[in-house]
């Protein structure tokens, strides 16, 4: 009886060890196949800002702005979109006879990612300012061609206006260096420096008097498709030419926002 019991226990232990070894050597279960990449994506966004800052200049006289847009992109890299915001700088400057309280933009281009780190973006951007303008004023509607390169969280973008530039009757260009560094999955540090230059002259006066540099520092917190944050901007604009209604529109200022992507 004793020998039989010992043999039974030994046989059971051997069977258990054999089963464990077989399971350990078995190939891992196959992962479920990844969902195919969609042919296109369609997204929208809407935000409320304490003011609208564009290239370092307030577009709403430090008053709140309501902004939103839609974007379409296909898997080949082609994209098109539209975006809008309320503005006041055209009325504040006296260039507008009627309307001019809306900026409505349309843009499109092509993006290509060489790998997970490097990418390129080519496109055209139209800034529209519907309204009736006073006699002699240059229509501020502006069309820019742009090329941009990106590396991880850093991008460098060059934009060139093909005709007049935001009410200046000559071409101009803007260079934009931006970094959006992910501190955590939710927090992002935002930094930017840009250079705006205007070409040509008006009435024998060089448009270079309008040239300036702007910069921005900020933080963004993301959760459930929402973005909440704030940033500080400043410029070295010539106050004598960038003062509207007694205010320098390029002075240092802070902006807070909440924005939703859907």
Q: Where are the domains of the chain?
A: 40-261
CA atoms within 13 A on the CB side of 115: 2
pLDDT at 210 > cutoff 50: yes
Confidence of residue 29 (pLDDT cuts 50, 70, 90): low
Q: How many whole angstroms separate alpha carbon 105 and alpha carbon 95?
A: 20
Nearest to 166 by CA among 245, 90, 228, 237: 90
Out of 19-33, 53-67, 78-92, 247-261, least confident range: 19-33
pLDDT at 169 > cutoff 70: yes
What's the pLDDT at 35? 76
The arithmetic mean of pLDDT across residues 101-127, rounded, is 99
Q: Per the structure block, which two tokens stand in for 155? A: 């991008």
Q: How many whole angstroms separate alpha carbon 189 and alpha carbon 220?
A: 7
pLDDT at 11 > cutoff 60: no
Confidence of residue 6 (pLDDT cuts 50, 70, 90): very low
Over residues 78-112, the pLDDT tens digits come to 999 999 999 999 999 999 999 999 999 999 999 99
Which percentage of the chain shows pLDDT scores above 90?
85
What's the pLDDT at 5? 44
Q: Please, what sign has the CA dihedral across residues 243, 246, 250, 255?
A: negative
Confidence of residue 26 (pLDDT cuts 50, 70, 90): low
- Report the greatest alpha carbon distance in the chain: 118
Q: How many whole angstroms separate alpha carbon 112 and alpha carbon 154?
A: 15
pLDDT at 123 > cutoff 60: yes
CATH number of 40-261: 2.40.160.40
The per-residue DSSP string of 34-94 comes to PPPPPSEEEEEEEEEESS-EETTEESSTT--EEEEEEEEEETTSEEEEEEEEE--HHHHTT
User: What radius of gyration, in Å, describes the C-alpha atoms of the chain?
Assistant: 29
pLDDT at 23 > cutoff 90: no
Q: How many whole angstroms separate alpha carbon 214 and alpha carbon 138?
A: 24
The per-residue DSSP string of 120-163 comes to EEEEEEEEE--EEE-TTPPP--EEEEEEEEEETTEEEEEEEESS
């Amino acid at each position: 009886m004793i020998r039989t019991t010992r043999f039974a226990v030994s046989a059971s232990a051997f069977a258990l060890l054999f089963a464990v070894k077989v399971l350990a050597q078995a190939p891992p279960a196959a992962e479920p196949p990844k969902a195919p990449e969609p042919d296109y994506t369609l997204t929208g966004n809407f935000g409320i800002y304490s003011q609208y800052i564009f290239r370092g200049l307030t577009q709403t006289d430090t008053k709140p702005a309501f902004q939103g847009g839609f974007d379409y992109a296909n898997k080949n890299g082609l994209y098109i979109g539209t975006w809008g915001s309320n503005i006041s700088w055209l009325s504040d400057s006296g260039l507008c006879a009627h309307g001019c309280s809306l900026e409505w933009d349309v843009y499109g281009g092509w993006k290509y990612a060489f790998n997970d780190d490097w990418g390129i973006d080519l496109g055209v951007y139209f800034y529209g300012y519907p309204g009736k303008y006073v006699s002699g004023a240059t229509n501020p509607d502006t069309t820019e061609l742009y090329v941009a390169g990106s590396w991880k969280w850093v991008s460098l973008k060059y934009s060139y206006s093909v005709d007049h530039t935001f009410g200046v009757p000559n071409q101009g260009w803007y260079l934009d260096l931006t970094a959006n560094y992910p501190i955590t999955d939710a927090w992002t540090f935002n930094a930017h420096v840009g250079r705006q230059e205007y070409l040509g002259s008006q009435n024998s006066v060089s448009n270079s008097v309008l040239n300036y540099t702007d910069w921005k520092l900020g933080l963004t917190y993301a959760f459930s498709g929402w973005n909440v944050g704030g940033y500080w901007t400043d410029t070295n604009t010539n106050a004598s030419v960038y003062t509207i209604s007694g205010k320098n529109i390029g002075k240092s200022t802070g902006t807070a926002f909440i924005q939703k992507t859907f």
